[in-house]
Structure 1
Amino acid sequence: MGKMEKVLLACFAFFVLFSAVSAQVFFADVNSQDRNQADVNFSRFPEIAEITEKISKLESSIFEMRSQDLTTVRVSDGLIVVSEQFKAEKEKLRTTRIADFSASKSKLTELFGLVELAFEAKDEIGVLERKLEEVRSEIDPVPVEEVLSKAKGELKDERYEKAIELAVEGQELIVDLQSFDTKARAAAEAATSNLVTTLDNNKVNILIGILVLVVGYLLLSSWLRHYLIWNKIKSLELEREAIKSEIKKAQEDFFVKGSMPERLYHIRIEVFSDMLRDIGRQLAVLMEEERHAKMVDLSFIAKKFKPK
């Protein structure tokens, strides 16, 4: 074997030895890292147990909300987010040995606050419903029902703060309506009492006033009745005079001027005579009504003002 071949062989042997040592060091380091990651003891971090327990409680709260017909979209979505955050924080702990669970804690605090608001809103709406049923017959329920409907809508849409605000507003509205109703009744009672007192204190004046009104009514109605009868009588008398004038004219045309045929003359005289007889009957009836009205008026006045 030549000198050059020995040198090459020595170089090759050195390269193989170096590669083997490097590989051993590399795999030893990797195995060391894996052992370090696997050796992380989560039980040494109380925050992990605390967060795990809170996530479990949050799941139970969501189940309870659903059992009471509460919408859980916001809380359920938040649970997914915090679970992913918690998982990422634990992975970071494995690789960096740095424990930072502040994001998960903050999100859980927010979600539990949301759950509390949901139940509070439901309770306040329940209180409003019960109060409304208790006083429904005493107040106008329409304004309160409108507020109640809005509060239920806000609760369904998971705007719990607004739902609570509306429920409290509805309860205050009931108190205001009751107060207004009480004041109205008190005012009515006071007005009634004042009216009774006024009537009692002024009963003589009131009786005199009523008497004056009655007498005035009687006089007015009597005058009106006589006026109507008199007006009909005058109208019939004018009509009678007009017919007499037509009869006179027909007689003049027939007897004096000879301008009217005999047959036409007799027809007109017969018609006019019938009209006069009818007017005479109507006048007789009206005159009797007038006489009777006077007798009734005198009789009534005599009875009312007859000395005792």
Structure 2
Amino acid sequence: MNLPPAPPPSAPARPGSSRFRHVAIVGKYHAVGSRDALERIAHFLHDQGCEVAIEHDTAHNTGLTHYHVLDVAGIGRECDLALVMGGDGTMLGIARQLARHKVPLVGINQGRLGFITDIPFLDFETHLQPILRGQYEEDRRALMQAGVLRDGRYVFETIAMNDVVVNRGVSPGMVELRVEVDGHFVANQRADGLIIASPTGSTAYALSAGGPLLHPAIDGWIMAPIAPHTLSNRPIVLPATGEIAVEIVAGRDASAHFDMQTFTSLLHGDRITVRRSVHELCLLHPVGWSYFDTLRKKLHWNEGVVT
């Protein structure tokens, strides 16, 4: 792809009608052709009158260091919008970090599924230009505040967007988990693990474990066992207003995973707590975007049906 020379870092943005003055780009930099794709987006933003910044790791792994380079904290301080190019995994990685800075995000899909990165890269200009002008659908997503409590103090804390998963590890046996909701005992469960998922994460691991789809507007969590020993142990939808606690009773090599991007090893007696975060994620979609359109497209509903 032959692109015009990039504007120097000090070059002012061209006059345009964008309501977003300073826009950051975050990319899936290991993908083939990602550098050219990211630079194409940067040129487009500059033509729309935006000042462009490249996220630190994206810049240094693609060589796009001739643009303004910012770390996550810098994006939070200086930018009005972040464009995330890649798949849902790329979005999860940066969204968990930027949520506390209240920077809205737009997902440009260069991955496979794209439940939350919904703008196709091949046609990103058509969809992105109206968004930059202020024409968009705002979609707010609840986040989870999760931690591991050991001997009365937290030894690990993080934010999750999709899910918190307790796994049995590599040992052949199941784990036994004591589950409480708002301090009320629910059950002791023997299974390969347990998933606590947000509505956003209902289309991820929880779905493959037999959990229901949960509309993003529903203020709830899904709790779904992974291969439970008792078949009557079924997924349940819980209010997101309380706290879920999962204690490791028995089993070896158990671990907790958060959005499948960070994890920590667990000991007997550890308590994994999940509650709603004070932060939330703001996604911007093209006008006319519908959650049901996304489900129909990504889950291949109506295929073979004549309408």
TM-score, normalised on structure 1? 0.19
* Relative contact order, higher structure (CA 8 A, sep 6+): 2
- Structure showing the higher helix proportion among its residues: 1
- Structure showing the higher strand proportion among its residues: 2
